[in-house]
Structure 1
Amino acid sequence: MTSQAENAKIRRLAALESARRAKETLISIRKKQNRKKKLAESKNRNHKRFMLGSLIEMAGILEIDEDTLLGGLMALAKTLNDPAKSATTALWKQHGAAMLVQHEATRLKK
């Protein structure tokens, strides 16, 4: 016959083992969630890059050399960050929106 102290010790060890397994399960679940989150972020980033490539193609500058393209994009970024050039960027936005509407209409006709 086992004493109450021995029973309590056995229950304590069982509880510790159960807690250890639960902790391992939790760690595993969190790792899996982090992997899924990173994969989703990667897919979103890749999709955005693909879409930007499509815009470059629509603008007709797909064949431009990388140095010129990067320089142009840097000038664009500088213009976008200058509040005094808001009229210019508003005009760009209008032209871009019109081009996207036209492109979408052409795409849907096919």
Structure 2
Amino acid sequence: MHAEHDATAPSAPEITFDDFLKVDIRVGTIVSAEPFPKARKPAYVLTIDFGPAIGVKRSSAQITEHYSPEALVGRQVAAVVNFPPRQIGPMMSEVLTLGFPDAAGKVVLVTPSERVPDGGRLF
């Protein structure tokens, strides 16, 4: 587990509110989730609809411990949508799907507690 994923790690350096606003975190609905056998670690390829302004984007997510592809479809998730695309094996990951580590370091997705419009920005 990386130090930044460790629950005992100290907090990150202080930033300004303007720094926070540079990170564009949006909510979207997973429209498909497929196994990603060519990934180095077990992962799924997620296709996520972020609404009309952002559109449909793809993400590689190492979330196989807690989620099945069938259970992911229709679920809303939070993701960073303004990182440059990143090559992950044969696919281009366009957004970073967000989660927290459980006690064993496995990813638990960040989701809104109630349904919200796709594309809404975290504030």
Q: Same fold (TM over 0.5)?
A: no
TM-score by length of 1: 0.21
More helix by share: 1
Which structure is higher in RCO with an 8 Å CA cutoff and minimum separation 6?
A: 2
TM-score by length of 2: 0.20
More strand by share: 2
